[in-house]
Structures are given as C-alpha cells and as structure tokens.
Amino acid sequence: MEIKYKLYPYPVLSSYSNDYGNGAFDVAIDIVRDGYDLRIDFLATLTCQSLQDCIKQGVAKYVYHLECAQTGFRTIVQTDKVSKVYTLLNKAVNGKLQICPFVVAVDDLKGFTSPDFHEDYQGIAFDIEAGCVMAVGKMVTVDISKDIDDLANTPSIFNISKNPDESCKQMLVDMSQRKIIIKLPISDFYSYKAMSATPLAQPILNSL
C-alpha cells in the first residue's frame, strides 16, 4: 500500500496538505532482528492538541498499516500510546515491507473541530465516521533481507530407497505416488548413503 496524495471531505493533518495551519504528525520506525523474527519499534510525534485529545478520549488511535507485496502479508497495528513495539514473524515477509502511519477515528465523531485548522476551516465542525483517517504520516519502505532460507526445512519431494531386486542394475523412478520414489541398485544406494553423510557432497547430490 502506498500513500496517495488525496483530498478528504474534512481536514486531515499531513505533510502534503495545508488543511491544518499548525501541527505535525511523524513516526520514527526502527526495525531490529530479534532472533529469526523482527522487532518493530514505533515512536509517534503528534503536535496537534485536538488530535491528541481524541486519542486520550479513546475515539482515535495511532494505526500502522504493514504490507509486503511479495508474500501477500498485510496487517494493522493499533495503539493509543506514542510508543509501540510489534514483533513480526520472519516467515511473514520477504523483500520490501511498506509501513504507513495514520491517526484513525475508531468511533464516530460528531462536530469535530480544531483551532489548528487552516483559516479556511475555522469555525466549521465536521462529522467523522469510525474508520476515517484523521492524520497521515510518511510511508517507510524497508528491505527485509533474510539470512536463512525459507526452503531449508521444506520436506523433500523425493524418497530414495534401495531396490530389493539385486538383478536390477539401473535406477528406477516411480512418479505415481505423492512423492517421487527413486530406487537405486544396492551398490549405488550404499554409495549414496556414504556421500549424503558428507555436507560438502550434498549440493552435488541434490543437483544430480
């Protein structure tokens, strides 16, 4: 999700509009490794008293939208605190992670107004429905590079076994079952077993 410059039917605090004459909303986002997972630290800075009051009254919250297009991961983190820690599972994301900060109404607001409105809106009150955006921060895009292979623990699609028929001198392949069954002649099977115990030989065996 990318934040688009858009117009709202009511004033919204953002860096790309002048709906508010005073006030700002920004979020510092820090991502650190926590074992295999990621710990995301959010620290919001909101300098609009009327929006702060909405959060204190429980009618608005800080909302962080997290999305990874490569894995299809999407979630939101809600809090009424300026600081928030969220643990993101390593398997959930890969590549670019987009984080969009908002202040969102979580309850209907009747007659909302603010002395920080631009002069064009002074003296005007707005009805804002639950779920509507009240402030927009700057989107952050983070490249998540993995140090571990997601496929490392994936079960093999092959089953390699010894052919009990000693007269058979070639490899037999059976693809009629859930796994591909590979039957090796007795001498080849024991050679395979000996090589598979050597880590340096495993990539060669896999390519073969």
The β-bridge relationship of strands 158-162 and 180-184 is parallel
Predicted local distance difference test score (pLDDT) of residue 1 = 56
Predicted local distance difference test score (pLDDT) of residue 194 = 77
**Does one domain contain both 33 and 119?**
yes
Q: Is residue 152 part of a domain?
A: no
**Does one domain contain both 130 and 43?**
yes
**Three-state secondary structure string covering the chain:** CCCCCCCCCCCCECCCCCCECCCCEEEEEEEEEECCEEEEEEEEEECCHHHHHHHHCCCEEEEEEEEECCCCEEEEEEECCCEEEEEECHHHCCEEEEEEEEEEECCCEEEECCCCECHHHCCCCEEECCCCEEEECCCEEEEECCCCCCCCCCCCCEEEEECCCCCCCCCEEECCCCCEEEEECHHHHHHHHHHHCCHHHHHHHHHC
CA 171 to CA 183: how far, in whole Å? 6
CA 114 to CA 126: how far, in whole Å? 10
**Does one domain contain both 124 and 171?**
no
Does this model's pTM top 0.75? no
Q: How far is CA 132 from CA 11, 20, 111, 150, 177, in A?
A: 11, 17, 14, 37, 53
**Does one domain contain both 78 and 162?**
no
Last residue of a domain, one of 121, 144, 167: 144
**Does one domain contain both 116 and 184?**
no
Q: Is residue 1 part of a domain?
A: no
Q: How far is CA 31 from CA 26, 84, 99, 100, 142, in A?
A: 16, 12, 11, 14, 9
**Does one domain contain both 75 and 123?**
yes
Q: Is residue 4 part of a domain?
A: no
As given in the structure block, the two tokens for residue 200 are 């340096």
CATH of residue 79: 2.60.40.10
Predicted local distance difference test score (pLDDT) of residue 151 = 45
Structural domain count of the chain: 2
The pLDDT tens digits along the chain (208 residues) read 556 667 789 999 998 889 999 999 999 999 888 777 889 999 999 999 999 999 999 999 999 999 998 888 999 999 999 999 999 988 888 888 999 999 999 999 999 999 999 999 998 999 999 999 999 999 999 887 665 454 445 566 778 888 878 788 888 888 887 788 888 888 888 887 777 767 677 777 767 6
CA 53 to CA 12: how far, in whole Å? 15
**Does one domain contain both 41 and 140?**
yes
Give me the domain span that covers residue 47: 25-144
**Does one domain contain both 140 and 166?**
no
**Does one domain contain both 137 and 112?**
yes
Predicted local distance difference test score (pLDDT) of residue 4 = 62
**Does one domain contain both 68 and 163?**
no
**Does one domain contain both 48 and 126?**
yes
Q: Is residue 169 part of a domain?
A: yes
Predicted local distance difference test score (pLDDT) of residue 178 = 75
| Number of other residues whose CB lies within 10 A of the CB of residue 93 | 21
Predicted local distance difference test score (pLDDT) of residue 84 = 94
The β-bridge relationship of strands 25-34 and 37-46 is antiparallel
Q: Is residue 58 part of a domain?
A: yes
Q: Is residue 11 part of a domain?
A: no
**Does one domain contain both 46 and 81?**
yes
CA 101 to CA 122: how far, in whole Å? 26
